[in-house]
Structures are given as C-alpha cells and as structure tokens.
Amino acid sequence: MSKNKTIFITGAAGFIGFHLTKRMLNEGYKIIGYDNLNSYYDINLKNKRLEILNQKADIDNVQWEFINSDLENFNSLKEIFKQHKIDLVINLAAQAGVRYSLNNPNKYISSNIQGFLNILECCREYGPNKLIFASSSSVYGDNKKSPFSEIDKTDKPKNIYGVTKKTNELMAYSYNNLFKIRAIGLRFFTVYGPWGRPDMAPMIFVKNILEGKPIKIFNHGEMSRDFTFIDDVIEVMSRIIELNFNKSQIINEKYCNEYPDLINIGFGSPTRLNNFIEIIEKKLSLIAKKEYVEMPPGDIKETYADASYLKNLVGNYSYCSLEEGIESLIKWYKDFYKY
C-alpha cells in the first residue's frame, strides 16, 4: 500500500463511512471526508464520530480533511476534485432508511440519484476512473429465490430506497461503458455494530429492552436478515480497496461486460428476527416486551446473500459470530449512552 494515495470518502460521518475512514487512516492513506451531517438521526452521534476521526488524525499524524456539504452541491464537489489529486472515490453518502422513503421520496431522488450523478460527472471530468459505491440488498426486492446472487434479476425493488440504489448501479454501468469509469457496487446486507444507526432494528431493540419499553416485531417475527457485523464489513472493504489499487480491474466473470462489478457484502447466514431478539435478551439478561405487528409496506421478508463471489475475491477470513457481534454492540451502547 502506498501512503501517497488519496481517497475521497463521502458519508464519512455515517456508520459505515466512519469505520472505513478510521481504517483507511490507520492504513496510512490520505483521506478527504465529505458529509452533510443532516438530521435524519442524532447529529450528536455523527459529531462524535468526527471527533474521533480528528483525534486519530492528530495522534497518528495522518492526512485527514473534512468538508461539510451535500452531494447535490455540484460546485462544492467540483472544487474538491479540482484541488486534489484523488486516486479513488468511495461513495457511501445517501439518504438511508426504507420506511422513511415512504413519506419522503424527494430526499432519496435528490441525494441518491442527483448526488450520485454529480459524483460520476466529477470522476468523468477530473478523474479518477476508480469508484466504489454503496448499493444495497434492497435492490433484490422480495426475491423468491434465495440466497440472493449478484446475477439474479433486480428489476422489481419494493421501495424507493431500493429503486435509487438500482438506479445507481445502472448509472455506474453507463459511465463505465461510455467513459471507462471503473465502478464497483457493494450490496450491503443489514450491517450492524458499534456506532450504528439508531433507526435500525438492532439499536432500537437494545435501547428499548434496556429501558423496559416494548419492541415492535414486524411480520410477527417471521422475517430473516443476513446480519453483517461492521468489523467484517470494513475488513472485506479494505481488501477490495487493495485489490482495486493493485489490479487493473476486478471482474465478475458471470457478468462479463453487461453490468458494473457488483459484490454482495453479506456472509450467507440468515437469522430469524425472533432468534436475533433472543440473543439480545440473553446478552442483556433481560426479557423484551414484545409487540407483534404486520409487516409495513416496502419491507422484505427475507434477505440472504450468496457470498461465494465475495469470498472468492477477498480470500479466507474468520467472520464474527452473531453472539460476539451483539455482545460488542451492547457493550458499546452501554458505554456511549451511560447505562
């Protein structure tokens, strides 16, 4: 790894962006972080993440710069690309949340589509031709075939969030075809762990159980998720980044030239929601007050990754067990929120 490489990471104050930025600083890369610090969830959590990144940069004497701005601000993005020689763009910024998209679709179109277009245009005009971007398991919709493979059809996403992520994949394909921008899309599967988003189920469950409040269990618990621990996500992302720097191109042979390179970031171990809650109860030594409800519009009954392509790319790696991951999440939560 060459320490003179500069990586531009959008969404650097977000959950995955924070962990990845910290890892890349530790690896010695120069990082330019970009985030609008919106109020979709607790801004104090985002500011604390940034505080940790600033402290790490100072202590380790590594190059780190943060810009507070929107992806939709094309002029802001252009100035960054003009002023810096960027070697790799990692776009993790997006308006997240499936249920939030039901009532706020415009935010998803402006941030996830217009914002991504601005990133692509900057890569086209100023370089680099290397781009890694966040997609989502939501592109698979309510696929009846499991596990979900990168070669499955993804033309029927069930919600606007999934639609925007599928659109990103098609946009990346177009820019790769027209302008030779090498794009790698990462389809994340239910990432959880310390510093996670407070609007996601693992955080909500831990919070409400600790506070003795009921937790809503959608579809009466008859749902499954491929829960993916954040440390594992960052490890495989780090390996993909190294591959992207060290090889001329990562190619999914099954796709040939039909799509951009797309990689499931999940590990093929779906867990039923009721079982997930049972592990949290065990680790907390508390019993949850459960409120069983119907599945809301746009939600998906099961997500389950075919991880064969990912494992072929990144090699052998010992993934964190669900019990270990939940224990780590709970420890961080209690420390951070003073329980």
Q: How far is CA 70 from CA 33, 36, 79, 331, 334, in A?
A: 12, 5, 13, 33, 32
Residue 260 has pLDDT above 60, yes or no: no
Residue 220's closest CA among 301, 138, 288? 301
Domains of the chain, by residue range, sit at 6-189+229-267+305-318
pLDDT at position 314 over 70: yes
Answer CATH for 6-189+229-267+305-318 from 3.40.50.720, 3.40.50.2000, 3.30.1510.10, 3.40.190.10: 3.40.50.720
- Percentage of the chain exceeding pLDDT 70: 94
Catalytic positions:
161
| pLDDT tens digits along 12-37 | 999 999 999 999 999 999 999 999 99
Relative orientation angle of helices 322-336 and 273-284, to the nearest 10 degrees = 50
Q: What would the pLDDT profile of 75-108 be if each residue is shown by its tens digit?
A: 999 999 999 999 999 999 999 887 788 888 999 9
Average pLDDT, the chain: 91
Whether the predicted model's global pTM rises above the 0.85 cut:
yes
Burial of 129 (0-12, 13-18, 19+ CB in 10 A): middle
255: pLDDT strictly greater than 80? no
